[in-house]
Chain A
Amino acid sequence: MAAGPYSEKVMDHFMNPRNVGEIDGADGVGEVGNPACGDMMRLYLKIDGGTVVDAKFRTFGCGAAIASSSMLTEMIKGKTVEEARAISNQHVADALDGLPAVKIHCSVMAEQAVKSALDDYDKKHAV
C-alpha cells in the first residue's frame, strides 16, 4: 500500500522488512549514520567463498531508511563481494521504485553500509 510520497514497494519493505536482525560471527559489519537526521544503519554480512550468503540489518530511521536497508539485504544476498561492492544508491532507489528527493540520502546510507561492511570483511581477511 502506497503512503504519501512513498511507492508501494517502499511501503512493503517498510511494513514487512526482510532480514532484520544480527548475524553471530558476521564476516563483515558496517555501520553508517546520517548526522542531519539521526538515522543509523548497521549491516551484518556472512560471506563464504567470496559470496554474500547472508545479510541482516538493524536500522534506526524513517520509512525510506528501513526500506532501503531491507531492499539492500535482498539485493546483495547471493552476490560476489565484487558485485556487492558495485551496488550504488541508485540501484537501491531504483529497486524501490524510487524515493522522494529528500530521502535519497537513505539509499546513500545503504550504499555506504555495504561498502563499510565489505571494508570490515577485507580487514578481517587481510593476508
Chain B
Amino acid sequence: MTKAFFDHISTTPLDPRVFEAMRPYFLDRYGNPSSHIHDQGQAALRAVDQARSEVASLIGAKAGEIVFSSGATESNNLAVLGAAEGAGAGKRHVVVSDVEHFSVMNALIPLRNAGYEVTILPVDRNGVVDPDAVRKALRADTALLSVMHANAEIGTIEPIGPIGRIAKEAGVTFHVDATASAGHLPLDVREIPADLVTLSAHNFYGPKGAGALYIREGTKVAPRSFGGFQEMGYRAGTENVPAVVGMGAAAILAKSEMGAWAEHLSRLGKTLWDGLAAIPMLHYTGHPAERLPGHVSFWVEHVEGESLLLFLNMKGVMAASGSACSSNLRGHDEEDLVASPVLRAIGVPTDICTGSITFSLGKGNTADEVRLALDAMPGIVERLRAMSPTYLDYQKQQGKGG
C-alpha cells in the first residue's frame, strides 16, 4: 500500500546525506570533545566546532553564539528561564504570546512561582501577534519577550521583524522559538533583532535529540544545568557528537536547498489546500498567506479529529491533530484532555477544537501522495458524519431528514 507521511511538523526523516556525515562519529571518531589532548578527542572537538559554524551560518550568527542542546524543549527552557534569571533582580516581568509551545509556556510555571509577573499576548483569529500589543505590554522591568517564528499547529508566521525592533527599542531580551521554521524559512539574526533563537535539528531533516540555542553576544543567560564547562558554560555535559555533526550537516543542506524545498512544498500544499476546499463545512485555520510552506491546517464540522486521523492512517495517510483526544493518548486521566491551547487562542470553541487536523508536507512528498489524501478524505468525512448525532441534528435543521 502506498503510504504518505504528512506529519513533518512533528519530525522530518533524516536526510541520507546527514546520516552519512554522522556515521563516522558513531563508529570511528568516538572521542570526547572535552578530552582533546589526543587525536580522538581533537577529531571530536573539530567536528563540534565545525558543526557550530554550520548551524551559525544557517541564521547569520557567529559560531560562538551557538549553544548545542538536546532539542527545542531544552533550548526553550534555557532561553526562558535563563534569560529571566540572567536579567537580574530588578526585572521580574516576562511577556509571551498565547500560541507558544508547551516548552515555553510550562517554563513560566517556576517563574510565576518565584514571583515573576507574566503577560500573555493575545493573537487574532489567524494566530498573529499584534506588534502594537507587544509595544504596550513591554515595561521597564520586563526581562524577556518570547514570540515564536511560526506555529506548528496552524502554520502562521509571526511578524518577528517588527516585534524584534520594538523589543530592541525597549531594551528587552527577545527570544524567538524557530523550531517549526528553522531550515524552512529564512531567518537572519543580522536583520532580525532576536537575542535568543531556538533551533531543532529533526525539524529540518537532521537527527532527533539535537538542538541549539542562539545567544546573541552580550545577552545575559543563566545556565540551567551544572557540571563541566561544555557549551561555554551554558549547558554542562558531554556533547552528543554524532547528533551535533548531523545538525551541522542538516543546517548546510537547509541553507542551500530551502528555497527549492519551499517551492516544492508550496506547490503541493496548494494542491492539497485547493482539493480539500471541495469538502463541505471544512474550515482552514491559521493565516491564509503568511504560513509555513506546505502546511495545511483545518477543522471539519461534525467530524472528530482523531477518528479522521485513524481512518486516514488505515488508508496510508499519516497526518496530525491538535485535538485533545489524539494528542494526549499517553495521558493518565481525563484531566489530560484539554482542547488545543492554540485553537482556543484563535477563538475556536472547545468542542470544535477536537476536529483540528494538520497536514505538514515534506521535501520527499509527491503529487501522488497528495492525491491519495484527497481521494481518501471525502469518503472518511462522509462516513464519520453518518455516525454523528450532531450532523443528524444539522440535517434535520436543514430539512433534509435523517
Contacts and interface: CB of A to CB of B under 8 A. Distances in A.
Interface of A: 1, 3-5, 11, 14-15, 17, 20, 22, 31, 35-42, 58-66, 100-105
19 contacts: A3-B313, A20-B387, A35-B351, A37-B325, A37-B354, A38-B350, A38-B353, A61-B307, A61-B325, A62-B307, A62-B323, A62-B326, A101-B332, A102-B331, A102-B333, A102-B334, A102-B336, A103-B329, A104-B333
Contacts of A35: 350-351
Given A22-B402, A60-B389, A36 B307 contact: no
B355 to A, nearest CB: 8
B325 A58 contact: no
Contacts of A22: 392, 402
A62 B321 CA distance: 12
Given A38-B339, A61-B307, A101-B332, 13 more contacts: A17-B387, A22-B392, A36-B337, A40-B388, A58-B388, A59-B387, A59-B389, A61-B325, A62-B306, A63-B307, A64-B325, A101-B333, A102-B333
Contact of B334 (A5, A36, A58): A36
B106 interface: no
B225 to A, nearest CB: 31
A29 to B, nearest CB: 10
Interface in B331-361: 331-334, 336-339, 350-354
B260 interface: no
Nearest to B392: A58
A4 B318 CA distance: 13
Interface in B376-402: 386-392, 402
B306 A102 contact: no
Contacts of A105: 334, 337
Interface of B: 302, 304-307, 310-311, 313-314, 323-326, 328-334, 336-339, 350-354, 386-392, 402
A38 B304 contact: yes
A60 B302 contact: yes
A51 B182 CA distance: 63
Contact of A62 (B304, B313, B389): B304
Given A17-B387, A103-B329, A61 B304 contact: yes
A112 B236 CA distance: 53
Kindly list the 4 A-B residue pairs having the minimum CB-CB distance in the complex, ordered from nearest.
A38-B351, A102-B331, A62-B325, A62-B306
A59 B387 CA distance: 6
Contact of B389 (A3, A17, A31, A102): A31
Contacts of B330: 5, 100, 102
Most chain B beta-carbon neighbours within 10 Å: one of A11, A22, A59: A59
Contacts of A3: 310, 313-314
A42 B402 CA distance: 14
A20 B68 CA distance: 54
Contacts of B351: 35, 38
B177 to A, nearest CB: 27
Contacts of A58: 387-389, 392
Contacts of B392: 22, 58
A102 B332 contact: yes
A63 B311 CA distance: 9
Given A58-B389, A62-B306, A37 B329 contact: no
A25 B144 CA distance: 63
